[in-house]
A and B are shown apart, each in its own frame.
Chain A
C-alpha cells in the first residue's frame, strides 16, 4: 500500500525555523518525484517545489524560491521542506504529493501538515 506519511501539526512564532517531513512507503522511492503544495485555509492550491530523488532534479515556484528549501534522504525515503525564518503568512496546510516519472500530475497525496505561525 502506497503511503506518504507527513509530520505532525506545528505552532510556531515568527522568525522560527521549521522542517516538515514526508516519508514514502509501499513504492520505489527513487522512481517518483515528490512535490509540496500549500493551501491557506479556505483558499486555493499553490505548487511550491518538486524534487526527484532518482536524479536530484529540483524545481521551485518563483513565489517560494528563496523562502523554502526542499531536500531528501534516500536512505529513509523521506522528503523535507524547510524554512529558516517563518512568517505569519506561512500559516497554511502543506501537502506532499507523489509525481510519477516524466508526468505532470500528482497521483497520491499525503494527509497534510497544518502549520500555524503566530506571535
Chain B
C-alpha cells in the first residue's frame, strides 16, 4: 500500500495567515492526489483534485501543488471558517489511502 504522511498534525494559526500543509507519498503517485476538508460532525468535502485543480465552489484562497511524492495545500489567507481537519488522499493505486490528517486551529 502507498503510505501518505501529512505534516504537521496540528497547525495553530491566526486569521489572515498563510497556511501550508504538506503531504508526502511513500512512492510516486504522479498527480493522483486529492485534498478534503472535514469539520467536526460533518462528512469530508472535496477541495482539490489532481493535485492542483480547485473543485467548483471552493474559495480561491485554497490551492494545491506538487507531483510525484510531495504535495502541498495552501490557504492564502486563513479565515475562521477554515478551522477544520484536512486530509490528503492518493488514487494512483488501490487501495486508495489517506493521510493521517492535519487539524488547523485558530489561535
Q: How far is the CA of A61 from the CA of B96 in the complex (A)?
A: 8
Is A112 located at the chain interface by the 8 A CB criterion? yes
- With A44-B100, A45-B87, A47-B97: A105-B43 Cβ-Cβ less than 8 Å: no
Check B44–A109 contact: CB distance below 8 A. Answer: yes
Question: How many angstroms from the CA of A45 to the CA of B36 in the assembled complex?
Answer: 11
Contact of A111 among B1, B43, B100, B101 (CB under 8 A): B43
Smallest CB separation, B70 vs chain A (Å): 18
User: What secondary structure prevails in chain B residues at the interface with A?
Assistant: loop
Known: A44-B101, A45-B87. A107 touches B96 (CB 8 A): no
Contact status A104-B34, CB under 8 Å = yes
Query: Quick check: B101 and A47 within 8 Å, CB to CB?
Result: no
What residues of chain A lie closer than 8 Å to B94, measured between beta carbons?
Answer: 59, 61
* CB-based contact A47/B32 at 8 Å: no
Complex: how many Å from CA A37 to CA B13?
29
> B55 contacts which chain A residues (CB < 8 A)?
107
The interface bits of chain A over 28-67 (1 if a CB of B lies within 8 angstroms of the residue's CB, else 0) are: 0000000101000000111100100000000111110000
- The CA of A105 and the CA of B50, in the complex, are separated in Å by 8
Contact yes or no, A62 B95, CB < 8 A? yes
A80 within 8 Å of B by Cβ?
no
Which residues of the partner chain B approach A75 to less than 8 Å between Cβ atoms? none
Q: Residue of B at shortest CB range from A48?
A: B95
Would you call A112 and B91 a contact (CB within 8 A)? no
- Contact check, B98 vs A47: say whether CB atoms are below 8 A apart: yes
Are A47 and B95 in contact, with the CB atoms below 8 A? yes
Among A61, A105, A106, point to the contact of B95 (Cβ < 8 A). Answer: A61
Q: Could you say which residues of chain A place their CB within 8 Å of the CB of B50? A: 104-105
What chain A residues lie within 8 Å of B97 (beta carbons)?
Answer: 47
A44 touches B49 (CB 8 A): no
Among all A-B residue pairs, the 10 with the closest Cβ atoms: A104-B91, A61-B95, A105-B34, A109-B43, A47-B96, A105-B49, A45-B98, A104-B32, A107-B46, A44-B100
